[in-house]
Chains A and B, each alone.
Chain A
Amino acid sequence: MAEALQMLVTIMVVALATFATRVLPFVCFGSREPPEMLSTIEKNLPPMILLLLVIYCLKDVQWFAAPYGVPELFTIGVVAGLHFWKRNAMLSIFAGTGLYMALVQLNVFSFL
């Protein structure tokens, strides 16, 4: 019982800390105007963050050991190429994911 209580308290604390990070900007700039600098970069943040999320997804790739990140870069190339060509989000995403799963499960780049 005591253990369950402690677990619940821990979960609540982590939940509140997580929510705090998400609500912070809304609390800061809820009633007053954000500084001018902020609103000028506001629209530049999403494209930057999205590309950073792509790079973040590659954080655990071992660049200096086989297969040198080739499956990841190859698949990203295919997804991007497909999307520039057809601009069909579902097609690009599922073709890319299927391709990547095949590449890593069948160990296609094991010759590297």
Chain B
Amino acid sequence: MRQKGKRRDSMNLMEEKRHKTKKGNKDLFLTALKTTVPVFLGYIPLGMAFGFLLDGAGYHWIYAFIMSLLIYAGAGQFLTVALLAAGAGLTEFVIATLLLNLRHAFYGLSLLEKFSGIEKVKPYLIFALTDETYALLTTSEVPEGGSKSRFYFYIAALDHIYWIIGSVIGAVLGSMLNLNLEGMTFVLTSLFVVLTIEQYFNSSVRFPFVAAVGAGAASLILFSPDNMLLISIILGTLILMGREKLIQGDLNMNKGIKKAHSAAAQPVKVQERSKEES
């Protein structure tokens, strides 16, 4: 009897636990839904623009669905339509796509640690790494007690679904629709501005912003708009690495000098402190 009661207790406990995680997952999903609302509002019109373009080039809407499902890259898909219209060969498709999307390699570089420990959904997270999803994943915090992999998966999958829906709507409706959505894709610019400021709040390092302004301005002036993102990211990374080298070099050099000067430097420090006190 006693044992039976015990077992029932533990079963209840398990039931309760399952119930709790179920509720937790629902909350996690709702948080992800809230986090991705700006991307929804950006991906629908942007996806529609892609759908319009594909429809205008004379392709069946099912291709908008397949491309958004399998390729899932904003600028990359626009480029693909342009190359299709130009009758490009497969090699051209490969080279153009690699060059345009190489920036994503830099996204992965800064996610190596964040994605470690995520096993099952990792391949999908990597596949679905668009500019917008990258921005959300690097800036949003996983709700307390929630599973990281689940939260990231929700965000990535929701963004993916928005993009597919937008592009299919655009391709099906074609030019029938005459909504004035001009300016709506600015929601993505606003999202990036907000996430940049969040990064500013979240970390104490300031130099990355300086590097971005320098690299961004230089590549905006010197290179064509289509190439500027990849080039500016490479340039910015080089600047970051250069500075890191410089600091390390300084440290190594200073080690020797500091020892020699430490005796002389100490009185100055004391003086400074006494000044502050007075």
Contact = CB atoms under 8 A, between A and B. Distances in A.
Interface of A: 7-15, 17-26, 29, 34, 37-38, 40-60, 72, 75-76, 79-80, 83-84, 87, 89-90, 92-94, 96-97, 100-101, 103-105
A76 B65 CA distance: 33
Contacts of B67: 11, 14
A41 B211 CA distance: 12
B212 A12 contact: no
A interface secondary structure, majority: helix
A49 B71 contact: no
Interface stretch (B24-32, B169-177, B199-207): B199-207
A51 B232 CA distance: 11
B186 A52 contact: no
Given A83-B194, A101-B183, A42 B203 contact: no
A46 B236 contact: no
B237 A41 contact: yes
Nearest to A90: B37
Interface residues of B, number: 86
Nearest to A84: B197
- State the majority secondary structure of interface residues on B: helix
B183 A103 contact: yes
Closest 10 CB pairs of A and B: A25-B108, A55-B216, A51-B212, A45-B110, A48-B208, A59-B225, A101-B183, A17-B97, A96-B190, A47-B199
B184 A101 contact: yes
A53 B43 CA distance: 16
B216 A21 contact: no
A62 to B, nearest CB: 11
Given A45-B208, A52-B216, A75 B93 contact: no
Contacts of B205: 43-44, 47
A18 B97 contact: yes
A21 B102 contact: yes
Given A79-B194, A92-B190, A47 B212 contact: yes
B80 A14 contact: yes
A11 B70 contact: yes
Contacts of B115: 26
Nearest to B99: A21
Contact of B101 (A8, A17, A41, A72): A17
B189 interface: yes
B265 interface: no
B49 interface: no
